[in-house]
Amino acid sequence: MTFLSNLGSVYLNALLPLAFYCGIGILAARTLPLDRATLSRVSVYVLLPPLFFSNLMEVEVPGEWIWKIALFCCLLLGGMALIGRLYSAFVGFDTSTTSSAVLSVTFFNAVNLGFPIALFAFGQEGLHYAGLLVAINAIPHNGFAIYVAARGQMPRREAALTLAKMPILSVILVALFFRLFEIGVPGPLMSPIRALGQAAIPLILICVGMELVSIKIKGIEPKLLGLVLLRLTLSPLAAAVITSLLNIEGLLRSVLILIAGMPSAMAPIVYARVFGGDVESLTQAVFYSTLGCFITLPIILLLLG
């Protein structure tokens, strides 16, 4: 009974708020004439930058942790990309599907789902650590995206310019500059920035719920099921091994493993549409890994306990 009660507590405290906001998004998409693209742009361009900025300005970590997190991100990215490539060769995916498969197992949904669950499970400090991870991870992950872009239809220079125009990246660089030179932000200015950032999480989850409505559901194929299992089970196991090797402990270790266990991110779907990848396989991977995370994440949280 102890295990079941602990599992119920995890669902209640960490996943029920997630399901609540996503449910609102599903209901809104079915009953209101809302523009999903506009709401998503508000999240990405208006609310997420303040969230990143406030997290990076307020999180307190030793300088050596920054390098450990950066090494963690590179090792996890490289390891999962290699595993995705080997799995694709084993099951016989074509070139287009292989690229999409690698993206689905390497890109985890750290913002849309990772931020809220880190907040609900570990509190404000957990959210700060998640923001730090995503900020550092943005560099190798987006570099990987540019590599994929170079192999597709978009020229490397154009892909780099598109990345440079993203406000989140600019905000990350500004916050890191402020922290490096110990530049403070006045309280009257920091308060509205923090408030905007806090508004990002509910809206992001509502947008996720609205996107789920548009996904066409069909039976999952065994090859696709393998990708989902790699994302939800092997990735957090790899994160646990890497954090042990790097001697990362405490709450930071728990947050890194938790975020590594998130379902496939939606961003690769955009890349696939632009660069000619297998959009359908990626969409199905996002949908089924998102459903599957309601089974795997409580187990991960219990083990991190």
Q: What is the DSSP string of 136-174?
A: HHHHHHHHHHHHHHHHSSS-HHHHHHHHHT-HHHHHHHH
How far apart are alpha carbons 235 and 106 in whole angstroms? 8
Angle at 303 between CA 300 and CA 305, to 5 degrees: 110
Burial class of residue 155, CB neighbours in 10 A (0-12, 13-18, 19+): exposed
More confident residue, 239 or 127: 239
Closest by CA position to 298, among listed 113, 117, 115: 117
Query: Percent helix, strand and coil across the chain, each rounded to 5?
Result: 85, 0, 15
Output the pLDDT for position 76: 94
* pLDDT-based confidence at residue 285 (cuts at 50, 70, 90): confident
CATH assignment of the domain containing 15: 1.20.1530.20
- Write down the residue that tokens 């029920």 correspond to: 16
Residue 232 structural domain = 2-304
pLDDT band with cut points at 50, 70 and 90 for residue 120? confident
User: pLDDT, tens digit, for every residue of 190-237?
Assistant: 999 999 888 888 887 888 788 777 766 666 788 888 999 999 999 999
Percent of the chain whose pLDDT exceeds 70:
80
Distances (CA, A) of 169 to 94, 163, 175, 228, 237: 33, 8, 10, 29, 29
In tens, the pLDDT along 259-274 reads 999 988 766 665 555 5
The predicted-structure confidence for 28-52, as pLDDT tens digits, reads as follows 989 988 887 788 778 878 888 888 8
Q: Give the tens place of pLDDT for each residue, 171-194.
A: 878 888 888 788 888 888 899 999
Per DSSP, the three-state class of 281 is helix
pLDDT at 255: 94
Return all residues near 45 (Cβ < 8 A) that are at least 6 apart: 167
pLDDT at 241 over 50: yes
Domains in the chain, number? 1
Establish how many alpha carbons lie within 13 A of residue 230's alpha carbon, considering only the half-sphere containing its beta carbon. 26
